[in-house]
Amino acid sequence: MVRAVHAEGLRFRYRRGRGLALDGLDYGQERGEAVGLAGRSGAGKSSFLLCLDRIIPNFHAGDFSGALEILSENISGKSTYELASQIGLVLQDFESQLFSTRAELDVAFGPENLGLDRKEMARRIDDALAAVGMQSFRDRAPESLSGGEKQRLAIASVLALAPEIMAFDEATTDLDPLGREQVRSVIRDLKKQGRTIIIVDHEPEGLAAADRISILSGGKILTSGPADRMLSDPGMLIANGIRPPEMAQLFSALKISPVEIDPGKAAKIFKAGNISPDARALAQIAERGQKERGAVLIKVDALEHIYPTGNRALAGVNLEIRAGDFLAVIGQNGSGKTTLVKHLNGLLGATRGGVIFRGMEVRPQMVSKLGREIGFVFQNPDHQIFQSRVFDETAFAPRNYGLSAPDIKLRVQKALELVGLPGRDNENPFLMTKGERQRLAIASVLSADPQVLILDEPTTGLDYTEQLRVMDLLAELNRQGRTIIIITHTLWLAARYASRAAVMSGGKKLVDGGVREVFSRPEILKQASLIPPEITRFGLEMGFPFLRVEEAVSALEKKS
């Protein structure tokens, strides 16, 4: 029988890497099987995928050993392009995978390299675009597409080489919820057609498409099993940096089995057993959420922004942010979230309307001055880190503001302590993990001691453990009295941590208010193509919009 993938004792160390990226990894996958690979950042998932079409060791230098067969053929000594028609690789960064001016030309690129004739090329292009539902996009410029469409186009351009195996390396990580669902639906379709599939993902929703899930740790497979069984084991998932489905957490905490992962079906099980939430517990939860709000700090007044391209990114947004708020701005890409928050510290100037901060109008000339009061952490920490020492990176802002050397030292120490990087002053930021670099980026803004902290998607690309770490840090800063504003696509995270939420869609603010109040209105979220977190959906079926699993556990454990 032909096996899709068979690996034995794969070892790899990147030339400048500190440890082994792969440490004797054994792996087997049948044809037609869909396997999910998960594990902490640095567990070896991506490195393993790169071995499959020999980008490791052909392009990434290092020590490589072990045996690897693709479709029962030993691939040692093969070139990457020779393997392109056996295994297709879709990467996280969809921007770098597209380089043409017309969608069909990106799809044609692979068949052209294979030297196919026109007739065969035409068939391949048609089939590949149809497989991702983009037949009508063939003449569109890829740059005009949304993130989800771009990633689907990247998938089509790999499919055009007709590989039997498709490997997805965090292909949905950089997408908004709508784009994620589009790409996941393409993956499910490919699976139905019998293709062999490998999915690397941090999210349980992405892993759910797999038949089997293998957990990687320290460069080898730690454990492996059927997807539904693996996703029902919250303890094991959390221990490996993977977010467990919220229903699995609930069932496990209440010691109910078997686990039902779908919130609607789970609610039915509780109802059938005549279990309803405890009224006293619900009253307590509701009361705990009532937090006295501070004075108005930022007032956004009929804010409109039109980019030089003519794109109207904001159309009359009103919003009040009060001292001590923890606000989550949610919505799809292109809904105006980032444009909105960039007005708060003057990075962008209003076309009409304006922003008042502490009674003073915010203007673009004030950006660097306002940095002492409003800190802004950008989405990609690598867009701001430039020093070769953690200390210097963190000291950049206070130095810009002309503080004395002892003051700077104090500020840096305090900031590094807050983000959990104390005593690492002399380390090189570029050798840190992505999660650490994200926290360093926060420290380097905190060192200016701003009262307001704005963060654009602070958890993108981090594993579950790192996500919680960053969010716990923000919660702590909020408790100390700082006002926190985050942009996020991750609704469970907003539910767990934020006190308020503002929903953006098409440059307009659909609603803002307390998180529980906003999330208990799925019809409004739907207008922004968002759905509430699983625990909230479950809660709405049960009559109370839970925001955290612990809330549901406390309200249900007495009854079950």
Smallest distance, another protein to C-beta of residue 22, A: 17
Considering only residues 290-349, where is the footprint of another protein by CB under 8 A? 309, 342, 345, 347
Nearer to another protein, 318 or 368 (CB): 368
> Whose Cβ is closer to another protein: residue 286's or residue 386's?
386
**What beta strand segments (E) does 250-405 contain?**
296-306, 312-322, 326-330, 352-357, 360-361, 374-377
Task: Using CB under 8 A, pick the residue from 70, 158, 187, 303 that binds another protein.
Answer: 158
**Contacting residues for 214 by C-beta, under 8 A, at least 6 apart:** 27, 35, 36, 37, 38, 221, 223, 224
The helix or strand, by DSSP H or E, that contains position 215, with its residue range, turns out to be strand 212-217
- Answer for the pair 85, 114: CB distance below 8 angstroms, yes or no: yes
Angle at the Cα of 468 (from 493 to 47), degrees rounded to 5? 105
Q: In the complex, what is the shortest distance from the CB of residue 448 to another protein, in angstroms, rounded to a whole number?
A: 7
Q: Which of 25, 35, 70, 125 binds another protein (CB under 8 A)?
A: 125
Name the residue nearer to another protein (CB basis): 121 or 495.
121
Binding mask 418-437 vs another protein (x if CB under 8 A, - otherwise)? ------------x-------
* Of the candidates 55, 67, 89, 33, the residue with the CA atom closest to the CA atom of residue 210: 33
Q: Six-digit token pair at 207?
A: 């892993």
Provide, rounded to whole angstroms, the least separation between the CB of residue 273 and another protein: 51
CB of 303 to another protein, least distance (A): 18
Distance in Å, CB of 245 to another protein, minimum:
31
Residues 346-375 that bind another protein (CB under 8 A): 347, 367-369, 371-372, 375
Interacting stretch for another protein, rule CB under 8 A, among 11-19, 47-55, 128-136, 316-324? Answer: 47-55
**What are 414's two structure tokens?**
């305090």
> Closest approach of Cβ 124 to another protein, in Å?
10
Give the list of residues 6+ apart from residue 359 with CB closer than 8 angstroms, or none.
none
> Measured from the CB of residue 496, what is the shortest distance to another protein in angstroms?
27
Extract the tokens encoding 28. 């087997």
What SS3 string covers 425-459? Answer: CCCCHHHCCHHHHHHHHHHHHHCCCCCEEEEECCC
Least gap, CB of 351 to another protein (angstroms): 17
Residue whose tokens read 């006295």 = 292
Tell me if 89 sits within 8 A of 45, measured CB to CB: no
Q: Scan residues 50-109 and list those touching another protein (CB under 8 A).
A: 50, 53, 55, 58-59, 79-82, 84-85, 88-89, 91, 93, 95-97, 99-102, 104-105, 108-109
Considering only 278, 378, 506, 511, the residue that binds another protein (CB under 8 A) is: 378
CA distances for 504 relative to 61, 269, 338, 342, 521, angstroms: 45, 35, 10, 14, 14
Which one, 87 or 250, has the nearer CB to another protein?
87
Nearest to another protein of 71, 518 (CB atom): 71
Which span sits near another protein by CB under 8 A: 126-134, 217-225, 397-405, 530-538?
397-405
Tokens representing residue 394 in the block: 């963190």
Our CB check for another protein shows the closer of 221 and 443 to be 443
The 3-state DSSP class for residue 336 equals: coil
Q: Which is nearer to another protein, 56 or 215 (CB)?
A: 56
- Least CB distance from residue 85 to another protein, whole Å? 7
Rounded Cα–Cα distance for residues 212 and 8 (Å): 19
Report the residue from 351, 400, 428, 560 that binds another protein according to the rule CB under 8 A: 400
Q: Which of 117, 287, 292, 523 binds another protein (CB under 8 A)?
A: 117
Q: How far apart are CA 176 and CA 490, in angstroms?
A: 9
Pairing of the two strands 500-505 and 508-514: antiparallel
Q: Give how many residues touch another protein by CB under 8 A.
A: 70
Among 27, 64, 270, 396, which residue sits at the site for another protein (rule: CB under 8 A)?
Answer: 396
Q: Residue 559: count other Cβ atoms within 10 Å of its Cβ.
A: 14
Give the integer Cα–Cα distance in Å for 428 and 137.
Answer: 45
Residues at the interface with another protein (CB under 8 A): 50, 53, 55, 58-59, 79-82, 84-85, 88-89, 91, 93, 95-97, 99-102, 104-105, 108-118, 121, 125, 141, 143, 154, 157-158, 161, 309, 342, 345, 347, 367-369, 371-372, 375-376, 378, 380, 382-387, 396-397, 400-401, 430, 444-445, 448
